Chains A and B, each alone.
Chain A
Amino acid sequence: MRVSPGLPSVSLTVKLMRAAAEALLLAALVGCAAPTPWVKPYEREHFADPIMSFNRDPVSSTYLQHVFETREGARGATGSVGGGCGCN
């Protein structure tokens, strides 16, 4: 059996990044006429509670992620997301 893992999909990468940029641009343009938020700022108190953070203790979650990623073939897309909480 001859195995030929593919070359880096540079063209695919470019396409994906272009699609992401277009999506962001579109979202920004749509944002100019943003719909009324269906969750009002005064209804978001739960998102200001630390227990609702996707990454409450970065120093700990980073370490645990490191433990997994060095023992598994999979990697990436584990960066915590967040924001949009309107708690500022």
Chain B
Amino acid sequence: MQLTREARGAHTRCAAGLSPFTRTLGTLCAIAAPALGGVLPEDRADVLWHVYKGGDITIQGPSVLVRKKVGDNLSLSANYYEDMISSASIDVKLSASPYHETRRQGSLGADYLHGKSTYSAGFITSKEPDYKANTSYFAVSQDMFGDLTTVTLGYRRGWDRVFKDRKDPVSGRIVTDSVFNNNLGHNSADHRGYSLSLSQILTRNAILGFNYELLTDQGYLANPYREIRYLSPGLGPGFTLADQVYPNTRTSYAATAQLKYYLPYRAALTGQYRYFHDTWGILAHTVELDYTQPVLRHWILDGSLRYYRQGAADFYSDLFPRANYQNFMARDRELAAFRSYTVGAGAAWQFAMPGVPSLGKNSINVRVDHLLVDYSDFRNALLVGTYGAGNEPLYKLNANIFQVFVSIWF
């Protein structure tokens, strides 16, 4: 525990949440999902700058995505993504110290079109000082029923290595904790994912999408920097911090249905719902509504509302009654019960590159989202001195998310 207190802090995994494997899922969307059965995605380059500000955390950085056809049947894609993190979050303040660090992620993908089938494969690698993750994936899409239906099957596999950093008491430098995991210096986690997707044209104005995904994890799944707290009346602030103990396995199931409708005056309305549950006891629902409206000749405006609700994991507690209360114990707020609300708006201005006929389609885009997370059983333990252990106000997270990006079709 002492090491944890002296540690540099909760790194990206603390600040940015749960398993890095989930991050790769998003990347797969960028480099794999556009590969639809029967048609290859357009040649395109995007350069994005993102900023997240909320809960005393600032995360910003670039993302560059390039996709290019080679011949008639092959499309290659590459993505570089960076998170530059500056964190003094509530978790860091409780059990560690503020920190700065960078996570870099790169990926390569290929999509091969053969008749009405598309075969996709790729590799993603992510690196930060105390976490290294590699993921490979394969998917096959098939158009059928007169191209009204597309079915996609996907598989992915991930291998992670988890390290733990600490501050050397003599030199004051940040070093890798060599005694972490019984002197091995690192821990490991493996991930597998299986997905089934379906898109179905319903009418000349409506299309339905369905995704199912099963993910399994095995290995070290906890955050080595975060800690539980348990009641200890009369001692210190009234609670004591201790290491989290996570299960070594997790299996989750998620299903999403999306319906997109083309409105008569050239606008699009999308509704979607996701159901999620896992073997840790988390049950979650996500509902989202998106509206897209082209205006004038060169503008496209977007608006979105998103509601998310989850129940707590079976082994989560904000404040355990005593030490070693149960075999698995966690206080990661991503495992707590909460509701979150997101409202977003975006605008895209489309233009032709002056003097370059081959670049006739380009866009400059901005998007702003506001996120509110309202926790039901995660308290602001930093206020224990005023309210007493277990009576602190519930924590709320307010965050603003900014994106600016340029897209070029070539």
Interface set of A (CB-CB < 8 Å, partner B): 1-10, 12-13, 16-17, 20-21, 24, 27-28, 31, 34-39, 41, 43-44, 46-47, 49-52, 54-88
Contact = CB atoms under 8 A, between A and B. Distances in A.
A44 to B, nearest CB: 7
B147 interface: yes
Contacts of B145: 31, 34-35, 37
A82 B118 CA distance: 13
B30 A62 contact: yes
Nearest to B197: A81
Main secondary structure of the interface of B (DSSP, over half): strand
B34 A28 contact: no
Interface in B319-339: 325-328, 334-335
A50 B65 CA distance: 18
A39 B206 CA distance: 10
A60 B44 CA distance: 14
Contact of A64 (B16, B292, B401): B401
Contacts of A46: 204-205, 262
Contacts of A72: 17, 284, 308, 310, 334, 340
B256 A77 contact: yes
Nearest to A73: B282
Contacts of B176: none
Nearest to B13: A70
A40 to B, nearest CB: 8
B256 to A, nearest CB: 4
B211 A77 contact: yes
Interface in B201-225: 201-205, 207, 209-218
B144 A28 contact: yes
Given A3-B315, A39-B148, A51-B262, 19 more contacts: A3-B314, A5-B279, A20-B194, A46-B204, A54-B270, A58-B34, A64-B401, A65-B26, A69-B26, A70-B16, A70-B22, A73-B278, A74-B276, A76-B22, A78-B256, A79-B32, A84-B207, A85-B36, A87-B39
Among B251, B266, B315: residue with most chain A CB under 10 A = B251
Contact of A60 (B31, B192, B258, B367): B367
Contacts of A28: 142, 144
Contacts of A1: 325-326
B148 A7 contact: no
Interface size class of B (residues with CB under 8 A): 35 or more
A88 B39 contact: yes
A58 B274 CA distance: 19
B249 A52 contact: no
B286 interface: yes
A64 B369 CA distance: 9
Contacts of A37: 145-148
Contacts of A82: 33-34, 36, 150, 199, 209
Interface in B284-301: 284, 286, 292, 294, 300
Contacts of B43: none
A62 B27 contact: yes
Contacts of A52: 207, 260, 262, 268
Interface string B22-62: 11011111111110111100000010101010000000000
Nearest to B361: A50
